[in-house]
Chains A and B, each alone.
Chain A
Amino acid sequence: MRRPRSRAAFVRVPVTTICATLVATLVATLGATLGGVPAGAAERRVTLVTHDSFALSESVLDRFTERTGIEVQVLPLGDAGQIVNQAVLTRGNPVGDVLFGVDNAFLTRALDANVFERYRSPAVDGVPEALRLDPKHRVTPIDYGDVCINYDKAWFAERRIPVPETLEDLTERRYRDLLVVQDPSTSSPGLAFLLATVAEFGPDRWQGYWKRLRANGVTVVDGWEQAYYDEFSGGGAGGDKPLVVSYATSPAAAVVYADPPITRSPIGTMTGSCFRQVEFAGILAGTKHRAEARRLVDFLLSPGVQADLPLQMFVYPAVADTPLPAVFTANADTADDPYTMTPARIGARRDAWIRAWTGTVLR
C-alpha cells in the first residue's frame, strides 16, 4: 500500500485549492443568478403566474414580444389550487402581474379575496356566453376542457364487456374493481369528478352513490400521475385498471406522444361522465405593469395563442371558431352535454363536499 507523504507538503495545497475553487463557484453562481434579476422599469416586462401544466409555443410568445416590445416571464407555481392560494396570500404585493389557470372550481375563492382587478378585454366578445362566468370581468375565460372517465379500449374489447356509459353503470357488478379516481382534496380532476357526481345525483343522493362506488371497489389515489401511470392499464406504465378519471383530450395526447407513431388512440372517453372546467386569466391587483398586463390578457385570446392551446395544453380554445388541429378533431372528445355547476355554488359548498366525501369514501 502506498504510504502517505509527509503531511506538511501534502496538506496545505489541496485544502487551499479546494476551498478557492468552491468559493469561486459559489460567487460565480450567486453573481450570475443575482445579476439576472430585473434591474428596474427600464425594459417592459410582464410576469405570468400559472400552474405547472402551462405551455405555449416559444415562437408564439416571441411574436408577442416582437410586436409589443414586452417580455413575458412565465412563473409556474404549483397546481390550480396552489396558485390561487398563493395569490390570496400575497394579495397587494403579488409575485406576478397576470395569473392564468384559475378554474371554475376555485374561482370564487380568488374573487372573494379580491386578488384580481377588473379588465374587460375587447377579445372576450368572441367567447361564447356559457364560458363567461364572471359578469364583473375580473377574470377572462381563456380555454375549457372536460374531466371525464377514460377507458382502455383493448381491455374491454378483449373481454367483450361493453364500455360503461353513465355514472350509474359504474356501480354495476361487471365493473367491479375497475375504476381509479383521485382524492378531491389533493387533485383537480378528482375534485371535478366529485362535482360531476354531485351535479348528477343532487345534494341528497351523491353520497349514497359514492357508497355504492366504494362497495364496487373504486380505487382512490392521490393525484393524476398516480392514477394514470401507476393504476391505469392504458397509461403504459404497468397499471391494471381499465377505467380512470382523466381528460376528454387524453386520447388525443396518447396519439400525439405515441412512439412508435399510431393513428388510432388506444383509449377512449366515457362522454357521459364529464365535468366542464373553464380556465381563466386575471390581472393581479397591485401589479406595477397594468398596461402590459392588459396587453397580455388580450394576447391570450388572440388567434395565435388560441390555435396553439390544443396541442400545448390539450384544452379547447375559448374563442369560438378557432381552427382545431386534425389529430384533435379525430381523437379528442368533448361531451355534448357535460355536467356544469355555477362557481358560486361550487364556492359555497366545495370544502364541505370534500370533507363529506372523505368521510364517506376514505374512513
Chain B
Amino acid sequence: MTPTVRARLGTVLAAAVPVVFVAVLFGYPVAAIVGRGLAPEGTLDPEPLRRVFTDPALRGVVWFTVWQAALSTLCTLVLALPGAYVLARLRFPGRSLVRALVTVPFVLPTVLVANAFLAVGVPRSLGAILLAHVFFNYAVVVRVVGTRWRNLDPHEAEAARMLGASRWRVAREVTAPALRPAVVAAATITFLFCFTSFGVVLFLGGPTRTTLETEIHRQTTRFLDLPLAAALSVVQLAAVLALLWLVGRSERRAAVPARLRAAREIEHAPRTPGAWVLLTANLLVMTALLLVPMAVLVVRSLTPPSGFGLDAYRALGDLRRGSTLFVPPLEAVGTSVRYALAAATIAVVVGGLAAWAGARSRSRWLDGVLAVPLGVSAVTLGFGFLIALDEGPLDLRGSAALVPLAQALVALPFVVLLVGPVLRSIDPRLREAAAMLGASPGAIRRRIDLPIAARALFAAGAFAVAISLGEFGATTFVVRPDAPTLPVVIARLLGQPGEAAFHAAMAASGILMVLVVVAVVVGDRARVGRFGDF
C-alpha cells in the first residue's frame, strides 16, 4: 500500500465513524417512523403530503415556520455579532465570566425562560418568539464566530489600513471574507434551532402561532395522525436538506484560506473611545437581553413564599421525599454530569474524526450530514427510537446508553464546527517540514495535528457538556425513569401541584446554570501550550 492510498483509507475510515453514528441513531429511527406514517401497508401513500401543500392552514404553518426562523436568525446575527467581536478581541476584567454567562441561556429549559419573559412584561407575541430565539442562540454566534475571530490574524487588515483602505473597506474586503465561513455556520445552526423550536413557539407565541415542529408534536401526541405527522416531517427534512445543500455549495465556492494566530497575541484592552462605546453598548445588550431573564429565575429561586433564602433549594431535597416521584437533587446533578461527560466524550471523538476527515478533503458534505439532526423534530426522532430500536442488537429501549448517544447527536455538529476550521488552517508546510525531518504520519498526527486541535477539542467538549446538560427534547424520550437528568426533574416538578414545586423547579434551574458556567469556564481556561491556544 502506498502512503497516499493509506492516507486516503485513513480519511475514509475516519469519515465512516460519524456517518455510521448518524445513520444508526438518526437515519434509521426517522426512516422507520416516517415509513410507518407514509407507507403503513408497504406502498407509499402520497395523499398526506398533498394535504400539506393544499390545505391552506398547513401551508400557512410551513410558511410561518420558514419566515419566523429566517427573521429570528437575522435578529440573532445583528445583536450577537458585535458581542462576538467584543468577547473575542477586547480584553476586560471579568471577560471569561461574561463568556460563560452568555452560554447559559442556551441550556435553560424553555418553559422556565418563557415564564421569566412573561414575568418581566413581554406579552405572548411574535416579538416574544424573536426575543427568546435571540436569547437562546446568542451563544451559538458568540461561540462559533467568536472562536474564529479570536484567532484571525489581524496582520492583513492592518496592512490594508496602512495602504490607505478605509475601515469600512477593510471590514468588507478583508475581515468579512475571512469570517464568512464561521458566520454562515452560526447562522445555519441558529436557523435550524429556530426552525425546529418547540417550547418557545408554544409558550411564548400563544396557541394561534403554529410551526411545523409544534404541528408535528400535536399530530403525533394528540391525534395520532401518523400519516400527516410523517408528511410534515418529510417537508421539514426536505427544507433542512435543501438549506444545507445550498449552504454547502455556496461555501465551497467562497472558501478563503485565513491565517490564524494565537488569541493572546491579538486581543487587546479597549484603547479608543470607540472601543469603549462598543464594549459598553454590547455589555448593555447582554444585560438587558440575557442577564435580566436569567436574573428573574435566580431571584425567584431565592424568594419562595416563605421569604428570601435557600428554602426552595432545600425543598428540592425534601419535597415529595418518600414518593416514587422523588429524586434527591444531588443524584440528579450526578446523573446529569455523568451523562454530559459521556456524551461530550462521544461527541468529541466522533466529531473530531469527522473534522479531521473533513479537513483533508475539499468537500463539506460531512458537515452538512452531521447538522441534519438539528433540523428534525425531537418527537419524530423520539417516536422513531421507540419503534426502531426495539429488536436484536439495537434493542436500546430502556438502556441508559441511549441518553448520552442521543445527546451526542445534538452536540456533534458543534464539535465539527469548532474543530474543523482549526484543523483546516494548519499550515501544510509544518507537516511537510516534520515529514522531511523523518516524522512518520502517525507522529505528525500526534505531534502536530492533535496539539494544535487540542484546545479547540477541549473547548468543543466543554460546549458539548453544556449542550448535553440542557438537552431536553431527545432526552425525555430515552431517559431512564429512576435516573432523570436535571431538565427532566424540572419538567416533573412543574407538572406537580403546589407553589413549592414551582419554586423548587426554579432552584433546579439555578443549579443547572451554575453547572453550565463551571463547564464553560473550565473549557475556556484549558490551555495546552502555545500552539494549543486556538
Contacts and interface: CB of A to CB of B under 8 A. Distances in A.
B528 A29 contact: no
B241 interface: no
A339 interface: no
Nearest to A182: B207
Contacts of B528: 10-11, 14-15
Interface residues of A, number: 78
Interface in A39-57: 52-57
B222 A11 contact: no
Contacts of B224: 84-85, 88, 109
Candidate in B324, B386, B491, B500 with the most chain A CB atoms within 10 angstroms: B324
Interface in B25-43: 36
Interface string B88-115: 0000000000000000000000010011
A360 interface: no
A11 B323 contact: no
Contacts of B497: 247, 249-250, 253-254, 256-257, 314
Contact of A25 (B305, B338, B476, B531): B338
Interface in B276-326: 300, 304-306, 311, 315, 319-320, 322-326
A95 B397 contact: yes
Contacts of A54: 324-325
A220 B529 contact: no
Interface in A3-22: 4-5, 7, 10-11, 14-15, 18, 22
B261 interface: no
B390 to A, nearest CB: 6
B499 A351 contact: no
B208 interface: yes
A93 B531 CA distance: 54
A324 to B, nearest CB: 16
Interface stretch (A133-141, A193-201, A235-243): A235-243
Nearest to A5: B529
Interface in B200-236: 202-203, 206-208, 217-218, 220-224
A53 B339 CA distance: 24
B381 to A, nearest CB: 14
Given A86-B383, A226-B203, A259-B306, A26 B345 contact: yes
Interface in A98-153: 109
B496 interface: yes
B293 to A, nearest CB: 14
Given A90-B386, A183-B207, A221-B206, A29 B342 contact: yes
Interface in A238-273: 238, 247, 249-250, 253-254, 256-260
B499 A37 contact: no
B341 A29 contact: yes
A78 B221 contact: yes
B502 A229 contact: yes
Interface in B515-534: 527-533
A154 interface: no
Contact of B306 (A15, A74, A226, A260): A260
Given A15-B454, A57-B322, A237-B115, A351 B401 contact: no
A362 interface: yes
Contacts of B496: 53
Given A34-B399, A237-B499, A26 B206 contact: no
Contact of A11 (B326, B400, B454): B454
A25 B341 contact: yes
Contacts of A90: 386-387, 390
Candidate in B346, B401, B497 with the most chain A CB atoms within 10 angstroms: B497
B264 A1 contact: yes
A290 B159 CA distance: 79
Contact of B322 (A7, A59, A79, A220): A59
B59 to A, nearest CB: 14
B118 A230 contact: yes
Contact of A26 (B217, B326, B341, B482): B341
Nearest to A86: B386
Candidate in B222, B300, B400, B454 with the most chain A CB atoms within 10 angstroms: B222
Given A58-B323, A186-B222, A52 B492 contact: yes
Contacts of A225: 111, 494-495
Contacts of B454: 11, 14-15
A61 B324 contact: yes
B114 A257 contact: no
A89 B324 contact: no
Contact of B499 (A15, A89, A183, A254): A254
A222 interface: yes
Contacts, number: 205
Given A10-B529, A29-B404, A52-B491, A253 B498 contact: yes
Contacts of A25: 338, 341-342, 345
A27 to B, nearest CB: 9
B127 interface: no
Interface in B105-146: 111, 114-115, 118-119, 124
Interface string A319-336: 000000000000000000
Contact of B451 (A15, A85, A109): A15
Contacts of B476: 78
A137 to B, nearest CB: 24
Contacts of A10: 528-529
B414 interface: no
Contact of A53 (B115, B221, B495): B495
Candidate in A55, A226, A253, A312 with the most chain B CB atoms within 10 angstroms: A226
Contacts of A7: 451, 529-531
B398 interface: yes
Contact of A351 (B223, B325, B501): B223
A221 B207 CA distance: 6
A220 B222 contact: no
Contacts of A11: 447, 451, 454, 528-529, 531-532
Given A312-B323, A354-B222, A29 B339 contact: yes
B191 interface: no
Given A55-B325, A230-B115, A237-B499, A95 B386 contact: yes
B463 interface: no
A258 B304 CA distance: 10
Nearest to A308: B323
Nearest to A95: B397
B417 to A, nearest CB: 20
Given A52-B491, A236-B502, A226 B323 contact: no
Nearest first, the 10 A-B pairs at minimum CB distance are: A257-B498, A33-B400, A253-B497, A236-B499, A4-B530, A29-B342, A10-B529, A7-B529, A55-B325, A11-B451
8 contacts: A11-B532, A93-B391, A95-B398, A220-B206, A256-B498, A257-B319, A257-B501, A259-B311
Interface of A: 1, 4-5, 7, 10-11, 14-15, 18, 22-23, 25-26, 28-30, 33-34, 36-37, 52-59, 61, 73-76, 78-79, 81-82, 84-86, 88-90, 93, 95, 109, 183, 185-186, 220-226, 229-230, 235-238, 247, 249-250, 253-254, 256-260, 312, 314, 351, 354, 362-363
Interface of B: 36, 111, 114-115, 118-119, 124, 202-203, 206-208, 217-218, 220-224, 264, 300, 304-306, 311, 315, 319-320, 322-326, 338-339, 341-342, 344-346, 348, 383, 386-387, 390-391, 397-401, 403-404, 447, 450-451, 454, 458, 461, 476, 480-483, 491-492, 494-502, 527-533
Given A58-B322, A95-B398, 20 more contacts: A11-B531, A26-B345, A29-B338, A29-B339, A33-B399, A33-B403, A52-B495, A54-B325, A56-B323, A74-B481, A76-B481, A78-B476, A86-B383, A90-B390, A186-B217, A220-B207, A226-B114, A253-B497, A254-B498, A354-B222
